[in-house]
Structures are given as structure tokens and as C-alpha cells.
Structure 1
Amino acid sequence: MIINFARIDDRLIHGQVTTVWVKEAKAERIIICNDAIYEDDLRKTLLKQAAPPGIKVNVVNIDKAVSVYNNPKYEQETVFYLFTNPKDVLAVVEKGVPIKSINIGGMAYKEGKTQITKSVSLDKNDVDAFNQLNELNIKLDLRVVYSDPSIDFIKKINEVDIA
């Protein structure tokens, strides 16, 4: 499997993803990696319906993401991984999927999270996962849209006190 692009965006498939990021990814397939969404048949159906024409979409749990990556049947297929959070990215990487760069696009504000940009809010678990990804030399590319300048994500995290 050829990983052309990986992104964290808790909205998953939406306008920016279908019109901009899919084109930049130049991938045949979007693979959404999340255990909870994998168990939600309605949400899976809606996500598949939201896909741009000509792009296949699969919703898999973390273990399936790893097994599909390692399946020789898919070794020449180009993919765009979509995640909702950094913990799932870290889990996939720790199980041997060689993600070299992760684009951080959107993580909505919720109770207990600290807003660090207009589109990204984090809690301590998120920060820990991002720091571990950084220690594994995975590029953390904070950009909502492709035309935005890339921001040093670890520096941005360190500017904010996240308890």
C-alpha cells in the first residue's frame, strides 16, 4: 500500500477534503481509521456517500487498517488515511504502518479541551500522542487548507498551557 497522504480531521469527509485534499493526495482510496465509527453503520454509510466521484472509501477499525496495509493484494494501491484523533494515528504507527507525515486539519473544541488555533483543540491525551508522534520523527503539518502555510505544531502546542 502506498500512503500518499494522512490527515487528522474529526469532520472526516467534508467540503475541504473532497475538493482540495483528495486532489492533493492523488489517492485511489480514502481509508477512515477509527474503532467507534467502524461500529456505527449509519455513519459509515453516510461517509461513503459523501465521497467524491471515483474515490473509494473504506471505514476500518485500527486493527483492520494495519492488516489491510500489510496485505500484498493492496501493495500498489494509493491511499489517503483519515483519522479523527492523534491516538489512532499513534496506534497505527506503533503497529507498523509507516506514516511519515500527518496533516492536522481539524479537532473540534469540546469540554476539557484547550483551543490552540481556530480549528484545533487539544487535551492532555492529544498532546501526549502528538509528542510521541514527533519523537518517532513523524512530520506534524498543521494546515486547515492546502494553501495555508505549514505551522510548527510542537512549537504551537508548547505555547499553550494544556492541563
Structure 2
Amino acid sequence: MSQIVLARVDDRLIHGQVMTAWLQYTDGNHIVIIDNGTAQDSFLQTVMKMSVPQGIAFSVFDETAGAEFLQKDHGNEKLLLLAKTPATYLHLVEAGVQLQEIIIGGMGAAAQRTKLYKNISASEEERQIFKKLLDQGIQVKVQIVPTDKATNVAGLLE
């Protein structure tokens, strides 16, 4: 039975940390990007696919198709979910996808965002989304790489 081994928010999606540290740490074998914009950009998908190590499956879905994909069994696949924003994960959970934990890895400064923790920024709307995810019993943590100590987002929202 397929298993979600990582659900990560990172506005860069695929980059060195994901490819090396998180793949090794989770023993994942299928990277799944869920992002409406990326799902419509075949050039960006091609560039990302070139950075995926040999032997690792790679898929890109919009939020609706991603939710449908995740509600099906995919054999022995260990899925690494990547999304640019926490709103994507709220959509997935509201569509019935079961998540235990979400790791915040990269949310850079942008309009409407203020500092949440170190170099992680979040808008008021994103903070409310974190609260909704926490209310669903999902652990939400900031952790850039697996060797970093995780910081619980609930404590940052008080």
C-alpha cells in the first residue's frame, strides 16, 4: 500500500535539499508535486524532471487531480508530496486526503507575509490555514532539512 512519507511546503518545490536530504531520510521513491500553476507549465515540469534522480518516479498534479491521485493505492510507493503553499494541503485535507504531518521547509518573504520563524514568512491567511490544519489533528512543523530540530508551528501562532 502506498504511503505518504513527507508532505512539505516549499515555494521552490524541487531543489537540492529535497533531492538529497529528504529523499534519503524518507526512503521515498515517488515525488508528487501538487500545484495548479506547475501543473499547467510543461516546460517547468520538464526542467524539474531532469533534476529527479534516476529510479525516482515524478508526477505533477493540480489540486483536484492530486487529491484524486492520493486517495488511491499506488502499491509500494513512498510518496514525497511537495506544494508551494499551505493552502494546497488544506484543499487536500478538505477533499479527504489523510495527512499526519506537514513540514514547512521554505516560505520566503512576499507581499502580505511577515516573519513566522527565522527565514520562514507567512501571511495572516496562511497562519489561519495552519490553525485549521492543526485543528484537524495534523502536526505542522518547521524543519528545513531532516537533521534540523523541528519547531512546532502551533507554538509560533500563539
**Corresponding position: 1:137 with 2:116:** no
Task: Tell whether 2:90 aligns with 1:83.
Answer: no
Contact 2:23 2:29 in 1 (8 A): no
- Identity, in percent, stands at 28
**Deviation for aligned residue 1:59:** 0.8
Q: In 2, distance between residues paired with 1:75 and 1:88? A: 24
| Aligned equivalents of 1:84, 1:155: Cα separation in 2 | 22
Which secondary structure state, in structure 1, belongs to the residue aligned with residue 69 of structure 2?
helix
Q: State the distance in 2 between where 1:67 and 1:144 align.
A: 28
TM-score under structure 1 length normalisation: 0.90
Partner of 1:18: 19
Deviation at 1:77, TM superposition (A): 2.1
Where does the alignment leave 5 or more consecutive residues of structure 2 unmatched?
Answer: none
Residue 53 of structure 2 is matched in structure 1 by 52
RMSD: 1.3
Task: Compute the displacement of 1:75 (Å).
Answer: 4.2
The one-character-per-residue Cα deviations of 1:96-144 (angstroms, maximum 9, x if unpaired) are: 1111101111101012210222331100111111100000010112111
Counterpart position of 2:10:
9
User: Structure 1: any 5+ residue segments left out of the alignment?
Assistant: 159-163
Alignment of 1:69-80 (within 5 A): 69-72=70-73, 74-80=74-80
Q: Quick check: 1:27 aligned with 2:28?
A: yes
The count of residues paired between Structure 1 and Structure 2 equals 157
